Amino acid sequence: MPGTKTENNGLRVSEGALALITCRFGNDDCWFARWNRHWAKYSFVGGHRHDNESFRDCIVRELEEELALRSGDDYRLVDSEPIARLSYEAWSRSARCDTLYRMELFGVVLNGNAAGLSTKRPVRWLTRAEIEALQAGDGRQVSETMRRILEQIHWRVLPGA
pLDDT digit string, tens, across residues 38-73:
889 999 999 999 999 999 999 999 999 999 898 988
Q: Is the pTM of this model over 0.85?
A: yes
Give the chain's domain count: 1
Can you point out the beta strands (E) in the chain?
4-6, 12-20, 22-25, 28-36, 41-43, 45-48, 75-77, 84-92, 97-110, 123-127
Query: What pLDDT score does 73 carry?
Result: 87
Q: Residue 104 is part of a domain; what is its CATH number? A: 3.90.79.10
Is 159 contained in some domain?
A: no
Domain that holds residue 87: 4-152
Q: Is residue 161 part of a domain?
A: no
